[in-house]
Amino acid sequence: MIDGYEVRDDQVLDEVEHGDVVVTVRRRLLGLPASGGGPPLAVEHSSAPGVGSGRPNVVLVHGLAQNKHTWRLSRRSFVAHLVRNGFDVWNVELRGHGDSRRLGARNATSIADYVHDATRVIAACPAPPFVIGHSLGGAVVLGAAARVPVAGVVHLAGVWTFATGNATLRALAAMSRRAAPMLTAAPVRMSTGWAGRVLGALYQVTDIAGYGFPIAGWTPGSLERDLLEERLAMGFDWESVEVWLEMSEAAASGQVLPAAAPFAAVDVPLLVLTGDHDPLVRPVDARRCFEASASSDRTLLVLDPFEHRVHWGHVDLILGTHAPDVVWRTITEWMSRRVR
């Protein structure tokens, strides 16, 4: 056992951070037993081997229908970067996703379920951690930070309002709302693996297929071909219809996702990062989160080619060619300045 977790696997490995930088990481696959009405959850704990507790902690939360591969691939690993820079990393897979699904965690019925999952992982950390959420995971960590103490929040291409400025997503949301009675007649979950395969096939034809596509969200040339194909093949997961319908309601109303709304009254350090060419989470959605926050220590950064080398999309904001030098460094330096 470790901090209430069951250790399911424990190994020391060399992981490529980026380029020729290789980091030795101790990685343990942990199972958080069901408790407090929450299901069992799978968490990857990555740390420097031979180093005891006491290092600052970071909890990573993926987005809609994604999994742990949001944060690490075979040749580019934000997880390894964090470990090398002095952090212990808790990479959670929300209920219904990845190894949590294999542990028996059924689908979520609402985004609030995900907030409950993240809250449990945060509360199990040795000390209040930094929390980083991508896409829908951004809304999840905001909701969790309103429930339990955290050292700071990184809202990375995160949802606050949803689909602002994206007519395609709003149309898809409207169609989903009209079909809601049929979709909710029985428990349904959706696999997005087909989307990854389709996008991968399109990429075989042209890199431009990813530009502006409302699911992929990468910009041309932002990510090496083999890494993008790996991300599409491994990172797309299952999602429940109920969660998508909740997001569809937010798209229709233009209102803040209810699960994230309580964060507006919380005063904790906040870093909001968004890409200028991200079709899934437009800069306007990120700016609304920043402006609504009561944090006395808040920063908004819109990444663009004028100050940050290239245009930035949804996926390449984490794993793109320039992400290590721009995004990773920004996040790590921001957290390091706030380590108590």
- The residue whose two tokens read 């395969």 is 197
Cβ proximity of 132 and 141 under 8 Å: yes
Question: Of all residues in the chain, what percent are helix, strand and coil, respectively (each to 5)?
Answer: 40, 25, 40
Structure tokens at 335: 């957290």
Cβ proximity of 67 and 93 under 8 Å: yes
pLDDT tens, 71-84? Answer: 999 999 999 999 99
What whole-number distance in Å separates Cα of residue 114 and Cα of residue 94? Answer: 6
Phi first, then psi, for residue 136 (nearest 5°) are -60, -30
Mean pLDDT of 60-66: 95
Phi first, then psi, for residue 238 (nearest 5°) are -90, 155
Cβ proximity of 239 and 190 under 8 Å: yes
Cβ proximity of 273 and 303 under 8 Å: yes
CA dist list (Å): 301 to 163, 164, 257, 274: 19, 18, 22, 7
Cβ proximity of 159 and 87 under 8 Å: no
How many Å from the N-terminal Cα to the C-terminal Cα in the chain? 27
Phi first, then psi, for residue 193 (nearest 5°) are -60, -35
What whole-number distance in Å separates Cα of residue 313 and Cα of residue 316? Answer: 6
* Residue-range domains of the chain with CATH: 6-336 (3.40.50.1820)
Q: What's the pLDDT at 206?
A: 45
Give 54's pLDDT tier (boundaries 50, 70, 90): confident
3-state SS string for 84-116: HCCCEEEEEECCCCHHHHHCCCCCCCCHHHHHH
pLDDT tens, 285-300? Answer: 999 999 999 999 999 9
What whole-number distance in Å separates Cα of residue 146 and Cα of residue 30? Answer: 25
Q: What's the pLDDT at 157?
A: 96
Q: Which among 128, 177, 126, 133 has a CA at the least distance from the CA of 156?
A: 133
Cβ proximity of 124 and 32 under 8 Å: yes
Q: What's the pLDDT at 212?
A: 47
pTM of the model: 0.94
pLDDT tens, 175-203? Answer: 999 988 887 876 655 655 555 565 556 55
Q: Is the pLDDT of residue 261 over 90?
A: yes
